[in-house]
Structure 1
């Protein structure tokens, strides 16, 4: 198999590249700046190069499009424009490549569970209706619409939940207050967190590529969501720290502006397509994910005994 990745320098992209390399899958990384490959299975190309000639993508079986400006910034009017336009521009570029390729690769296009809107009560699956009731749901709706009209190829819309990993994304920042003994619920604590471990996300992407009759929306979440309070209590317990200091909603809004929606609102999203197709999660529940993400540190006594 040969796979092309846009957004390969980001948190998810770096893990996905390593996952494919472990599977002996060749990777073409598309970025803004030309890079030199030091691995026999990795080749680099640029958007500019692909505008001129699409040959660097000859023979790819899939394109995984992860490109788009980070939403983890204050949502000024200019930032909102960049967040949307960066995603539309990336899809347009991918569409151009596919149109010019003789062998049409499947497109795995990153999307988001934000498309469903927010709710503390409803459970959303891929077939659920949604309403564009906020900035992010509108962005994802337009993002998916741009990808769906790409002709002559299979398109999977990978709706990402909160991706948990040790070395990037939101998780390290979420855990920091708990490590300092200052962790607690955010807002009411009732908002739902639909999450997925980075390892399972990479495995799910490969799964979607290999399922040749799979297309359309796929929820990239674990089967078991948790509330913000449940998440915090489990993290605190794993770290052996107190769960005590709440972060009030007004403070989050003051600090983050409109972006506080990411912290104060949520939705319960169930991965119906993945479950129906018997995708096997390594980390289906949060406790298993935290065991890997926050491994217990051996005491100095245990370390001495182990080395003797």
Structure 2
């Protein structure tokens, strides 16, 4: 399969490119700067957005596009940062819509990144892909506009991958969450009752590949493990795997003082389930938090 990946130099994108090449696909990384691509492979090509705008036909014959482009949310949410997060996602989706419209041979599928923030936050409700959208904060508003932009891409099969907290030692929020346990000071964050819809990076990549290959997958897909846990349970699992105590509570007001509005990522959440993936036959390699923690931080 010939696959174009936007955001292919990022945390998830780099792992996806490796997975695609590993199974024999031809990969085109679409990026702002060709110099940012460090991977080298006989089946790997690099093209810039500017080159695509000038010659979109260079991607003729592309069978699939995976759009992972967007400014990282792992930063303090100043007004300027929030605007970058918002505009980067809308711009990428708009560029892909323009590209697909220009191609004579359209890709069969676009997998567009999204987030479980689509459902808003709750301590008591359970959400799957049939649950309604609720705009309650910055992230849910970004996801709402992001998916609207993705829906304007003229493609036969659109998959909107609503991701939860991605856990891996190589990047994202997880290494920061583990650090207190390394220092024997891990514990409950806020009330500890907030839900964490998480997914292991390996399962995230496998789910993207599964979505590319499986014609039954279309529309929203929750990229989360089948066993969500509360924040307190998540921390206890880290402690068990590392043989460290889970005892030092961090109050919500301190998190807000340290991280500002971004603290919502750790203080609020949703119990989201991957109903669409499970119904299509996808099998998680790390379905429960203890197996994931043993793999990532277990002694």
The two structures have a TM-score, normalised by structure 1, of 0.94
Which of 167, 175, 180 lines up with 2:178 in the alignment? 175
Structure 1 unaligned runs (5+)?
Answer: 297-308
Residue 191 (str. 1) matches residue 178 (str. 2): no
Q: Rg larger in 1 or in 2? A: 1
Paired with 1:100 and 1:265, the residues of 2 have a C-alpha distance of 42
Match of 1:61 in 2: 63
Residue 253 (str. 1) matches residue 253 (str. 2): no
Match of 1:244 in 2: 247
Paired with 1:38 and 1:185, the residues of 2 have a C-alpha distance of 43
Residue 293 (str. 1) matches residue 281 (str. 2): no
Instruction: State the shift of 1:44 in Å.
Output: 0.3
Structure 2 unaligned runs (5+)?
Answer: none
Residue 156 (str. 1) matches residue 164 (str. 2): no
The within-5 A match list for 1:277-292 is: 277-292=280-295
Residue 19 (str. 1) matches residue 22 (str. 2): no
Secondary structure, aligned partner of 1:188: coil
Instruction: State the shift of 1:154 in Å.
Output: 1.6
Match of 2:228 in 1: 225
Runs ≥4 in structure 1, deviation > 3 angstroms?
none
Paired with 1:190 and 1:295, the residues of 2 have a C-alpha distance of 24
Secondary structure, aligned partner of 1:263: helix
Match of 2:96 in 1: 94
Instruction: State the shift of 1:156 in Å.
Output: 0.7
Aligned pairs, how many? Answer: 296
What root-mean-square deviation, in Å, do the aligned CA atoms of Structure 1 and Structure 2 show? Answer: 1.2
Secondary structure, aligned partner of 1:144: helix
The answer on whether the counterparts of 2:159 and 2:221 sit within 8 Å (CA) in structure 1 is yes
The two structures have a TM-score, normalised by structure 2, of 0.96
The answer on whether the counterparts of 2:216 and 2:280 sit within 8 Å (CA) in structure 1 is no
Instruction: State the shift of 1:93 in Å.
Output: 0.7
Match of 1:300 in 2: none
Instruction: State the shift of 1:102 in Å.
Output: 1.8
Instruction: State the shift of 1:21 in Å.
Output: 1.3
